[in-house]
């Protein structure tokens, strides 16, 4: 059985917070995620683009690589990436103790982020083109912050469902924001710099109470 792993960019000394990146995947897939995975590589490229900004602000950035490619709800309970994400959060605790964490997830990674947002160290979720079915539970986000961004040309996941999820989540979250990315598709090739800017600025905002107050 393959195991999850982490790619890390750490600040010198103790960070003020940490961004845990969660990549996408498939609804079903029991193959191992390796470095040839397009979903993992997209997240790795984003990490390269936004890492300096986050580290310069005092925050470490970790990218989780799941053990298996799929969500696999039909064969695994909880779904495959969820235990991996909880493992990663435990690694944060083992390394730094109680540290504010923002989960930054794309596609299936957005769904994974929502599922584990109830972890006590998680401050909030930034979900990019997330896969959020109509019946997705909002309760793990109770008292947390949510930023969800979606492009209107996405043919893989639904911007409409994401908007509806944000509306439902607002009933339990500390804050919930939907960001319309315009005529962008699922894989964030179009308006790539805008996706990167949103990811970094939203993560920093959720980790920094002063930034969040200014944003509000």
Which runs of E-coded beta strand occur in the chain?
5-9, 17-22, 59-65, 101-106, 122-128, 145-150, 175-180
Task: Give me the residue spans of the domains in the chain.
Answer: 5-215
pLDDT at 144: 97
- The CATH number of 5-215 is 3.40.50.1820
pLDDT at 212: 57
Per-residue pLDDT of the chain (216 residues; tens, 9 = 90+): 799 999 999 999 999 999 999 999 999 999 999 999 999 999 999 999 999 999 999 999 999 999 999 999 999 999 999 999 999 999 999 999 999 999 999 999 999 999 999 999 999 999 999 999 999 999 999 999 999 999 999 999 999 999 999 999 999 999 999 999 999 999 998 899 999 999 999 999 999 865 655 655
Angstrom distance (rounded) from CA 150 to CA 195: 10
Query: 84 near 69, Cβ under 8 Å?
Result: no
pLDDT at 40: 97
Closest by CA to 18, choosing from 88, 116, 67, is: 88
């Amino acid at each position: 059985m393959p195991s999850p792993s982490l790619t890390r960019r750490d600040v010198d000394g103790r960070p003020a917070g940490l961004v845990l990146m969660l990549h996408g995947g498939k609804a079903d897939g029991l193959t191992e995620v390796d470095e040839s995975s397009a979903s993992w590589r997209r997240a790795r490229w984003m990490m390269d683009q936004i890492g300096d900004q986050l580290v310069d602000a005092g925050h470490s950035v970790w990218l989780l690589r799941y053990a298996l490619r799929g969500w696999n709800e039909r064969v695994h309970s909880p779904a495959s990436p969820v235990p991996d994400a909880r493992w990663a959060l435990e690694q944060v605790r083992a390394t730094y103790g109680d540290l504010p964490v923002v989960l930054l997830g794309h596609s299936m990674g957005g769904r994974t982020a929502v599922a584990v947002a109830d972890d006590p160290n998680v401050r909030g979720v930034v979900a990019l083109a997330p896969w959020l079915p109509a019946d997705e539970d909002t309760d793990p986000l109770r008292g947390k912050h949510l930023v969800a961004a979606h492009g209107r040309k996405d043919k893989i996941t639904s911007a409409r469902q994401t908007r509806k999820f944000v509306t439902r989540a607002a009933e339990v979250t500390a804050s919930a924001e939907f960001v319309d990315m315009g005529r962008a598709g699922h894989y964030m090739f179009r308006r790539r710099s805008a996706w990167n800017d949103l990811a970094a600025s939203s993560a920093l905002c959720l980790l920094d109470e002063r930034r969040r107050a200014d944003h509000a």
